[in-house]
Chain A
């Protein structure tokens, strides 16, 4: 079965530190890849997405992710985090021609120390 694996369940960083959250997905053909964010008390929001083209994708709030097909990876990065980035981050995938249902990872809870 298709799956998404997020490497870290809980990450604690100080403000201005650099961030990289790992994500791997299982093979299943052509994929669309996403990172969603859930701020405390709020609903899921799309941070960025990859459908095709440039494998380096830029999203909102200074986040970016790189699709590396050979590694089945889609890691999320931000060069300098802020306290307001405290949230839960979900990597997700849809497989083309499989009804667009999203398969989510278990999430990474990011806590930024002020």
Chain B
């Protein structure tokens, strides 16, 4: 499968614990995006990378959230001291800035439940 992959698919954690999610984009894509989707809402932009550089962060991304893409390939999203309000589906997408179409391809998401 050459699409965007995310791991884990589901994560249940207790409030106050740290969690980390991984996204592997389509291999030739240099842009990687993180979105969050809560029940009844569309996905909301969190942050994005071009290669290893994090170029934009949403105000939704509090200081408990950190994202990295150290080698310009896979990315991790860490949430520290999780809160019940962090429960959501975390989506990753990738695209190529050189393709001309800027179409983003989405992964299956990681569903986080904070108890």
Contacts and interface: CB of A to CB of B under 8 A. Distances in A.
B45 A94 contact: no
Contacts of B106: 36, 43-45
Contacts of A49: 101, 103
B42 A100 contact: no
Most buried by A among B33, B56, B106, B108: B106
Interface string A75-93: 0000000000000001010
B98 to A, nearest CB: 12
B84 interface: no
B109 A43 contact: yes
Interface residues of A, number: 23
A36 B104 CA distance: 11
Interface residues of B, number: 25
Contacts of B25: none
Contacts of A42: 108
Nearest to B97: A100
Interface string B69-97: 00000000000000000000001010101
A43 B109 CA distance: 7
B44 A99 contact: no
B2 interface: no
A102 B104 contact: yes
B102 A101 contact: no
23 contacts: A9-B40, A32-B102, A36-B106, A42-B108, A43-B107, A43-B109, A44-B91, A46-B105, A49-B101, A90-B42, A94-B102, A99-B48, A99-B55, A100-B48, A100-B95, A100-B104, A101-B45, A101-B48, A102-B33, A102-B45, A106-B41, A107-B40, A107-B41
Interface of B: 31, 33, 35, 40-45, 48, 55-56, 91, 93, 95, 97, 101-109
Given A32-B102, A49-B103, A106-B40, 14 more contacts: A4-B42, A36-B106, A43-B106, A94-B102, A100-B31, A101-B56, A102-B33, A102-B93, A103-B45, A106-B41, A106-B42, A107-B40, A107-B41, A107-B42
